Amino acid sequence: MLIIDNATVRVGGRVILDGASAAISDGRKVGLIGRNGAGKTTLLNLVLGLRESETGKVEYSKSWRVAAVAQEAPAGPESLIDTVLAADADRTQLLGEEASEHDPAKLGEIHSRLAAIDAYAAPARAARILAGLGFSADEQQRPCREFSGGWRMRVALASVLFTRPDLLLLDEPTNYLDLEGALWLEDYLRRYRGTVLLVSHDRDLLNRAVDSILHLEHGKLTLYSGGYDTFVETRAQKLALDAAQRAHQEAERKRIQAFIDRFRAKATKARQAQSRVKWLEKMKPITVAVAEHLAPIQLPQPEAVAPPLLSLNRVSVGYEPGKPVLSNLSLRVDSEDRIALLGQNGNGKSTLAKLLSGRLPPMSGELTRARKLIVGYFAQHQLDELNAELTALETLWAHRPRFDETAARTRIAGFGFSGDKADTKVANLSGGERARLLIAIATLEKPNLLILDEPTNHLDIDAREELLTALNDYEGAVVLISHDRRLIEGCADRLLLVADGRAAPFDGDLEDY
Per-residue model confidence (pLDDT) at position 106 = 78
Beta bridge partners of 171: 199
In angstroms, the first-to-last Cα distance of the chain is 39
pLDDT(260) > 70:
yes
Torsion (CA) 181, 182, 187, 190 in degrees, nearest 10: 140
296 compared with 493, residue with greater pLDDT: 493
Within 10 angstroms of residue 149's Cβ, the number of other Cβ atoms is 11
What predicted TM-score, i.e. pTM, was given to this entire model? 0.81
Per-residue model confidence (pLDDT) at position 296 = 77
Average pLDDT over residues 402-414: 88
254 compared with 198, residue with greater pLDDT: 198
- Mean of the per-residue pLDDT values of the chain: 88
- pLDDT tens for 304-347 read 999 999 999 999 999 999 899 999 999 999 998 999 999 988 89
Within 10 angstroms of residue 242's Cβ, the number of other Cβ atoms is 14
Sheet holding 212-217, edge to edge: 66-68, 167-171, 195-199, 29-33, 212-217, 220-225
Per-residue model confidence (pLDDT) at position 421 = 86
DSSP conformational letter for 427? G
- pLDDT tens for 476-489 read 999 999 999 999 99
DSSP conformational letter for 137? T
Average pLDDT over residues 152-163: 94
pLDDT(93) > 90:
no
User: Angle at the Cα of 147 (from 48 to 134), degrees rounded to 5?
Assistant: 75
Average pLDDT over residues 267-281: 67
Average pLDDT over residues 275-301: 70
Average pLDDT over residues 105-134: 84
CA distances from 438 to 36, 355, 378 (A): 16, 20, 7
pLDDT(36) > 70:
yes
**Among 130-144, 214-228, 243-257, 482-496, whose mean pLDDT is lowest?**
243-257
Q: What residue ranges in 29-154 does DSSP mark as E strands?
A: 29-33, 55-59, 66-68
Q: CA 96 to CA 320: how far, in whole Å?
A: 44
Q: Kindly tell me the burial class for residue 357, based on how many C-beta atoms sit within 10 Å of its own C-beta (0-12, 13-18, 19 or more).
A: buried
